[in-house]
Each structure stands twice: as structure tokens, then as C-alpha cells.
Chains A and B, each alone.
Chain A
Amino acid sequence: MTGVRVLVGTKKGAFVLTADGKRRDWKVAGPHFTGWEVYHLKGSPADPKRIYASQTSSWFGQIIQRSHDGGKTWETPGSSPEDLRDAKTGWPKGESNKFVYDTSARGRPLTTHQFYDGTQKPWEFKRVWHLEPSQENPDVAYAGVEDAAIFKTTDGGKSWSELPGLRGHESGPRWQPGAGGMCLHTILLDRNDPKRIFTAISAAGAFRSDDGGASWKPINRGLKSQFIPEPTAEVGHCVHRIAMHPSRPNVLFMQKHWDVMRSDDAGDTWYEISDNLPTDFGFPIDVHAHEPDTIFVVPIKSDSEHFPPEGKLRVYRSRTGGNDWEPLTKGLPQRDCYVNVLRDAMCVDSLDPCGIYFGTTGGQVYGSADGGDTWAPIVRDLPGVLSVEVQALA
């Protein structure tokens, strides 16, 4: 590996940070899509120069952007001259930002979900929170959206179709939005089983498909959420993030609204691993690239105080697959720090030693090139960071 490329989505644009394998000296490129919220960018494992980005705005809606050159230049898929005319009809297509819920047989009976006030509200597309390119094919990617649903493209983002079996699950009418909206924010693909997909929704919970997204089951047994009427309900849990190590896809780690959890059976059952964390509230969770039992979280004081306890920004690491957490503080601010780290804003690279990165709502992106032992800011003054992803470059 010769270097890394860190993809940063912020409230006012996207940035691309690059460094060689030492990960000490960084170049910052951007902003791209200036003035727009960029919820997520992610590169294709099958073609690292192919990157997808979710660009969104309260004014002008959703845009999907795609790069073929590692983030130097971008296009809205399907808008090149040869793409703009459909061979059959002669009409322009331009549907790369068309996320329309499937109201055919699977979707129709469930076109409402529960709203904050307990009433039923129609599903209404708002934005793409997360993009997950396929492991094998750069033209295939999944999109997790608000209001919660999963979409798939098989033509490089030119068009998107809902996998309606998820929203069509019988529990759909009982899903309700969390404080950030009813978003599908996590998509995990199992490298060993292309038909297995995990998703997580705030505030519905985690779901698994074993048939490529046609049908889904809630996987929330063992979760306890004291803030809902039935704390152990099948759905209704505010899951903030789930993570897995690719070598061990049946072991999942979860940062829930409160509680850090683990499953050893692909989500069928969960148990708590919060142990000695200063608070078990938080958003991101991730797994070391080479040590499947080493996991990272960033504890946040509470759901009403979205900043680190005591004003000390600390990543916590467990080397035992949960529990027995140690604070990682070297190079991170240990006083007067009141930023948050959002759910898609932490990632690990596959270099050795493993690199870890996270971004804050205060616009800092921190990196560690030694598995979390020491940290340094890569850049300090970006707009609030919404997402951070990294690619190791050959």
C-alpha cells in the first residue's frame, strides 16, 4: 500500500485528504459541492477510483455524485451526452437523484409509519444518509435513506430502485423517527455471503436480509431501551451504528442510543459490553482492521448533552471484543472540548499498523496511524463533519 485517501463529508461540502503510508503529511483538497450538505462519500472496493457521494440540501433536495478519478472530478451519473437520451424513447433520463418509494405489491400496504405524535404519516423521501458500494461490482451500490428505506443501483448510480421488502416488513407502521429523523444510516455487506445484508434504522432497530434484500427480519433481541413503552420490543430501538470485521461476519458490534452491544450470532441475540465506559451513549463504533476483537467507540455524555464527558475528547478501545475499555487520549484535546462525533464519522484503514480516523461537529478530523495509541489533527477548521471514510491505495 502506498497511501490513504480520506473522504470527508461536511455540512458545507466534501473534502478529500491524502497522505502516504506513514500518514503524517496530509494534503487537503476541496471543498467539492460547496455549500451543500454531504452526508456520505464512499469508494468502491472493486474500483477505488470510483467514489459515490450523497449531496443534499433543504432547498434543492438530493443529488448523487460520482467520481471516476478518486475524487478529483465529479459528475451526476447519467448526465453525460451519451447518457442523456434513452435509446427507446429519445427522452432525457437524468434520474440519478430519483428515489421514489416502491408502491407496488410489497410497498403499498405500508405507506405510513408512526410519527412523533403517534399518528401514522406517509413515507416521504428526504435524503440519502449512507452509500455502500458492492464488494464486487463498482456499478452496484446501496443507499440508506430518510424516511427509512434501502435503495439499490446496478448502473453506477444512474437509477435507483427500492428494495421494498424492508419497508414492507410487517413492523413498518411501528417505526418512528429519532431526533435526527427516521433514517437508514448503516448498511453492512457480508463479503463471504453476497446475499446477506445488515441495516440499522433510527429509531426502528437493526434488520438482516439473507436473500439479497428481498426479505428482512428484525434482529433486536437482547436490546433494552428504557425510553420506549416496551423496553424489549421487537422494533423501536434507536440503533446508532453497527460494525463488523470482514473475517468474522457473524460477530456484530453496536452503539445504541444508550448501551454498547455485541452479537455472536449475526444479530439474532445481543448482550451488553459497555462495562467501564464513562458513558455508554455515543454514535460511531468500528473494528480494528487486523484485530477482530479490538473495537473503538467515542463516548458522549448523554442524549441531551451531545459532547464528551468532562470536555475531554477520548476514544475508547476494547481489545477483548467488548468490556475492559481503555481511554485513548494522546494528541486529543483533554480540556474544554464540546464537539460531537456523528455515527458515520469514524473509520479504519487496512494498513499495518491500522489507521483510525474520526471527524467532529467542530470541523476537526483526527487520525491515528498506530491503532489509536496516538492521535493528531489532519485538519482543524472544516465545516461540521458528517462522515469520514478511508481508502487504502495500492
Chain B
Amino acid sequence: MIRVVLPQHLKTLARVDGEVTLVVDAPVTQRSILDALEARYPMLRGTVRDHATQRRRPLVRFFACEEDVTHDSPDEPLPQAIATGAEPFLIIGAIAGG
């Protein structure tokens, strides 16, 4: 199982507490995690990736194993610790604005 940590606003929107767990087929990538997340929680579609372009929203960032992987290719395999669920995949709302 893949573990995903959502920012608080998206937890509220998806009506979940704590981490989200997802079944994701290998290879585990940013894209495959987000596809699974949106399939499980359709109300999150468009909130992490733009509906029209499927590109990451500018003020959303991704972290894996204490590394910022935001600018990696969405199809690059994530670390094994993410794929095994030992570490969570973090979706972060950038600290900006008021």
C-alpha cells in the first residue's frame, strides 16, 4: 500500500483524517500515485493537477523520503521506500500568501 499525506485543505475536501492509503501498480511514480488518488477521491481532481493540462498546480509540491521531487519527471519511479509504504508520499501546499 502506498501512503499519501495530503495538505489539510485537501483532507477536509476528501473528508479523510490522517494518511490516505492507495493501491498502486508498479512502477510507482508521481503520476501513478496521483491517478490512484483522484480515482479514489474524485473530489480532488483538479486540485493537485490542473484539469485541462494535467500539470501540477504552481503552489503544490511533492516530497519523498525527505527529498523535494516536485520538479522530477512525473513518470520517474519514486524511491523504493515510497513503493513499499515504508515512507509516505507528501503533497504539500507551498508556504506562500496570506
**Chain A residues within CB distance 8 Å of chain B:** 34-36, 57-63, 76, 78-79, 84, 91-101, 125
Contact = CB atoms under 8 A, between A and B. Distances in A.
A100 B51 contact: yes
A125 B42 CA distance: 19
A96 B51 CA distance: 11
Contacts of A61: 46-47, 50-51, 57
Query: 10 closest Cβ contacts across the A-B interface?
Result: A94-B42, A60-B47, A92-B42, A76-B43, A59-B59, A59-B93, A79-B43, A98-B51, A97-B46, A100-B52
B60 interface: yes
A59 B43 CA distance: 15
A117 B45 CA distance: 33
A84 B15 CA distance: 15
16 contacts: A34-B12, A35-B9, A59-B9, A59-B57, A59-B60, A60-B93, A61-B50, A61-B51, A63-B13, A76-B13, A92-B42, A95-B42, A95-B45, A98-B46, A98-B51, A101-B52
Q: Is the interface of A mostly helix, strand, loop or mixed?
A: loop
B45 A58 contact: no
Contacts of A84: 42
Q: Is the interface of B mostly helix, strand, loop or mixed?
A: loop
A78 B42 contact: yes
A78 B93 CA distance: 25
Contacts of A57: 9
Contacts of B97: 58-59
Contacts of A100: 51-52
B47 A63 contact: yes
B9 A94 contact: no
A36 B9 contact: yes
B45 to A, nearest CB: 5
Contact of B94 (A35, A59, A93): A59
A76 B45 CA distance: 11
B41 to A, nearest CB: 8
B9 A60 contact: yes
B42 A60 contact: no
Contacts of B96: 58
Interface string B30-56: 000000001101111111101110000
Contacts of B69: none
Contacts of B22: none
Contact of A125 (B13, B43, B47, B52): B52
A99 B97 CA distance: 24
B48 to A, nearest CB: 7
A94 B43 contact: yes
A61 B7 CA distance: 14
B24 interface: no
Nearest to B59: A59
Q: Pick from B44, B60, B94, B96 the residue with the most CB of A within 10 Å.
A: B44
Given A57-B9, A98-B51, A99-B51, A79 B42 contact: yes
A273 B57 CA distance: 45
